């Protein structure tokens, strides 16, 4: 049986109106740790950072507190116009509402039989074994950086606005990436451009649009299983009408509030290594709901695959030894998927 038959698109599956999801979407009982939907009461609000005021000591202190406590923050006054964000979300929604045949023009299965899976395109994540638990989402994964390596064969031609809107949105988030990285370097009292300089003109940047259909059993199924991002920095734009993102702190899950035209910016594992674990990459997941579809757009920014991942020298001395082993970025990325499949963080294997 072809892979496309074995793993139907979740959106198509949800439209059939079944009451019990297929078993491969169910989170194993030993991994549920109680009610999947349970979330703790926030110990304190997740900081909302005004990115236009980062020169102010008070705002910089808020950013430091957010990164030390949560590993991410909510960002406002980030330089992306409300109208562009609305257009981006609208184009994303239009793409996923198209007939299946139209979306399959961007398929991540090169010949349609599953043997030539590729990361880019429309589909779901690669299934590597029978016991590989599946996430309740479909996605469209597109390279945006470097610009000359964009594969437009995988970029939707419908809706017509999609390509122009994503191009403009990606140009804004790239500037935002550099602003945040410089701000973090300043908090750590190292050269302001240290992290930005780790990004060559060959470093990858990807846009990943997630579509989470309503699910009849949100108590048994996750939209996205627990993980930390393996990249450098993630800039997330979530559907402000539907919650679902949760972050883990001290073993408890907390709901991340969805605010209109606000971004969620989180550290990735590569940045955790580079800052020597002073600020950590947060473990997060997405829960499902029975009533509403949910969309989000994550911009994942990486370092060049030939970069040596290691703590910044300016953060090391006799009293502050390195907490992580050195590793080439491409070797680190190679280890990420297998550990993610097992529900583990590869970065933890690098700790000294």
Is 3 part of a structural domain of the chain?
A: no
The pLDDT value recorded for residue 113 is: 56
Domain membership of residue 300 (yes or no) is yes
Domain ranges, residue 83: 10-350
Q: What is the average pLDDT across 34-56? A: 88
Mean pLDDT of 45-60: 95
User: What's the pLDDT score for residue 301?
Assistant: 97
CB within 8 Å of 281: residues ≥ 6 apart: 71, 228, 229, 266, 267, 268, 269, 271, 272, 347
| pLDDT tens-digit readout, 254-310 | 999 989 999 999 999 999 999 999 999 999 999 999 999 999 999 999 999 899 999
Q: Which two tokens stand for residue 290?
A: 């029975």
Model confidence band, residue 1 (pLDDT cutoffs 50, 70, 90): very low
In a domain, 176, yes or no: yes
Task: Specify the residue for token string 């579809």.
Answer: 293
> 134-181 pLDDT, tens per residue?
999 999 999 999 999 999 999 999 999 999 999 999 999 999 999 999
The secondary structure element, H or E, covering residue 159 is none
Q: For residue range 193-232, what is the model confidence (pLDDT) as tens digits?
A: 999 999 988 899 999 999 999 999 999 999 999 999 999 9
Residue 128 binned pLDDT confidence (cut-offs 50, 70, 90): low
Residue 5 belongs to a domain: no
In a domain, 293, yes or no: yes
Average pLDDT, rounded, for the chain: 91
Residue 205 sits in a domain whose CATH number is 2.60.120.330
pLDDT, mean of residues 327-332:
93
- Sign of the C-alpha dihedral, residues 231, 73, 345, 124? negative
- Based on its alpha-carbon atoms, the radius of gyration of the chain, rounded to whole angstroms, reads 20
Angle at 23 between CA 106 and CA 9, to 5 degrees: 15
Q: With 90 as the cut, is the pLDDT of residue 253 above it? A: yes
107-115, Cβ contacts within 8 angstroms, sequence gap of 24 or more: 108/141, 108/154, 109/3, 109/4, 112/2, 112/4, 113/2, 113/3, 113/4, 114/2, 114/3, 114/4, 114/6, 115/3
Q: What is the mean pLDDT of residues 306-335?
A: 94
User: What percentage of the chain has pLDDT greater than the value 70?
Assistant: 93
pTM (two decimals): 0.94
Q: What is the per-residue pLDDT for 5?
A: 39
Considering all CA atoms of the chain, what is the largest pairwise distance in Å, rounded to the nearest integer?
A: 62
The pLDDT assigned to 4 comes to 40
Residue 1 lies in a domain: no
Number of domains in the chain: 1
φ, ψ of residue 328 to 5 degrees: the values are -65, 140
Residue 265 covered by a domain: yes
Taking 70 as the threshold, does the pLDDT of residue 33 lie above it? no
* Confidence (pLDDT) at 34: 66
148 domain-assigned: yes
- How is residue 255 written in tokens? 């709901």
For tokens 């990459």, name the residue.
Answer: 281
Which of the two residues, 335 and 112, has the higher pLDDT score? 335
Residue 6: is its pLDDT beyond 80? no
H or E segment to which residue 263 belongs:
strand 263-267
């Amino acid at each position: 049986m072809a892979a496309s038959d074995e793993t139907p698109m979740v959106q198509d599956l949800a439209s059939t109106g079944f009451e019990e999801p297929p078993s491969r979407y169910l989170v194993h009982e030993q991994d549920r740790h109680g009610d999947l939907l349970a979330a703790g009461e926030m110990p304190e609000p997740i900081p909302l950072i005004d990115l236009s005021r980062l020169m102010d000591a008070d705002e910089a202190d808020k950013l430091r507190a957010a990164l030390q406590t949560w590993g991410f923050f909510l960002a406002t006054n980030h330089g992306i116009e409300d109208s562009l964000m609305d257009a981006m979300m609208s184009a994303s929604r239009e793409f996923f509402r198209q007939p299946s045949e139209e979306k399959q023009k961007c398929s991540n299965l090169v010949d349609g039989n599953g043997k030539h899976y590729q990361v880019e395109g429309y589909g779901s994540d690669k299934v590597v074994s029978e016991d590989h638990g599946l996430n309740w989402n479909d996605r469209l994964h597109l390279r945006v950086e470097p610009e000359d390596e964009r594969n437009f064969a995988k970029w939707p031609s419908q809706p017509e606005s999609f390509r122009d809107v994503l191009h403009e949105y990606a140009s804004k988030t790239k500037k935002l990436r550099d602003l945040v990285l410089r701000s973090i370097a300043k908090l750590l009292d190292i050269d302001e451009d240290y992290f930005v300089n780790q990004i060559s003109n060959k470093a990858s940047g990807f846009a990943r649009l997630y579509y989470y259909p309503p699910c009849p059993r949100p108590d048994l199924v996750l939209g996205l299983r627990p993980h930390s991002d393996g990249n450098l920095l993630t800039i997330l734009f979530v559907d402000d009408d539907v919650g679902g993102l949760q972050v883990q702190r001290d073993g408890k899950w907390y709901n991340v509030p969805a605010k209109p035209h606000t971004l969620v910016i989180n550290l990735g594992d590569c940045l955790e290594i580079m800052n020597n674990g002073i600020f950590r990459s947060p473990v997060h997941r997405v829960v499902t709901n029975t009533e509403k579809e949910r969309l989000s757009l994550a911009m994942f920014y990486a370092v060049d695959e030939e970069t040596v991942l290691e703590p910044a020298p300016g953060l090391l001395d006799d009293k502050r030894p390195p907490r992580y082993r050195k590793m080439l970025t491409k070797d680190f990325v190679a280890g990420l998927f297998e550990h993610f499949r097992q529900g583990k963080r590869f970065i933890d294997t690098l700790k000294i």
